[in-house]
Amino acid sequence: MTEKIIVANWKQNMNLEASLAWLNKLEIADFKDKKIVLCPPLLLLFHLKEKIDSIGLPIVLGAQDFPRWESGSHTGEIPAELLAGYIEYALVGHSERRLGNGEREDVLVEKVRVAKANGVEPIFCISESQQSIPDGVQIVAYEPISAIGTGESESPTKVYDLARELKTDGAEKVLYGGSVTPENVNEFTSKDSIDGVLVGKASLDPVSFSQIVRNV
Ligand code: PGA
């Protein structure tokens, strides 16, 4: 079986105390065929990396976004190299950023380029099959807007068909996101073309996230 990727996207939730408690309550083994990626708010990355390294948890960190520039006179932006010191993956193009922050395709192309140049693997999110995918993207996450945070996940068969199409067009791995729960996760990940999941709400609770990881 190829490795499945399980991403926790905490969005704009959690604080330092709650995030450290979350790590302590996680109940996961060191699965050889599962990669767990935690995307917390940026300010928590430093503390979480220290904690993960010190207790040897089998999880890696990701960012919920990545800068579009390397460094320089961009007030409010974080240097790409600095961020890359903490993370292995970065979400790029999440629909909440496309819609809420007006991120256009040209910006997303730059984010993918800068992430790759700094050794960070972008997880490129699309909410519709027609959205274009920048060159160099290997991991695509399909997250229909109707399924995000609604409790109404997409049909696994539809995701499976789309994943096969995306792979024909060059994607190496395809993840699904949108109302993933411990109960429904396996309907997606048991299909060979679906390489993992991106989990929002259900990732905030360490018990349900651990269950999702186990059920993949
Ligand atoms: P959800 O969010 O699991 O709460 O639907 C998924 C996402 O937006 O990545």
Give the per-residue pLDDT at 29.
82
C-beta 65 within 6 A of ligand 1: no
Nearest CA-CA partner of 45 in 66, 77, 19, 73:
19
Nearest CA-CA partner of 127 in 145, 139, 111:
145
Alpha-carbon distance of 49 to 160, in angstroms, equals: 34
pLDDT tens, residue by residue, 127-179? 998 899 999 999 999 999 999 999 999 999 999 999 999 999 999 999 999 99
Give the per-residue pLDDT at 74.
98
Residue listed under structure tokens 């068909």: 161
Q: Give this prediction's pTM.
A: 0.96
Give the per-residue pLDDT at 1.
62
Pair 151, 106: CB distance under 8 Å: no
Whether 70 sits among the annotated catalytic residues: the reply is no
Ligand 1: centre distance to CA 148 (Å): 5
Burial class (CB in 10 A: 0-12, 13-18, 19+), 124: buried
| Pocket probe mutation, ligand 1, options 143, 159, 176, max atoms within 8 Å of Cβ | 143
For β-strands 121-126 and 89-92, DSSP reports them as: parallel
Ligand 1: centre distance to CA 96 (Å): 10
Alpha-carbon distance of 135 to 130, in angstroms, equals: 15
Ranges of the chain whose pLDDT falls below 70:
1
Tell me which of 96, 103, 121, 143 is the catalytic residue. 143
Can you read off the two tokens belonging to residue 46?
A: 């430093």
C-beta 185 within 6 A of ligand 1: no
Burial class (CB in 10 A: 0-12, 13-18, 19+), 193: middle
Residue listed under structure tokens 């996230």: 209
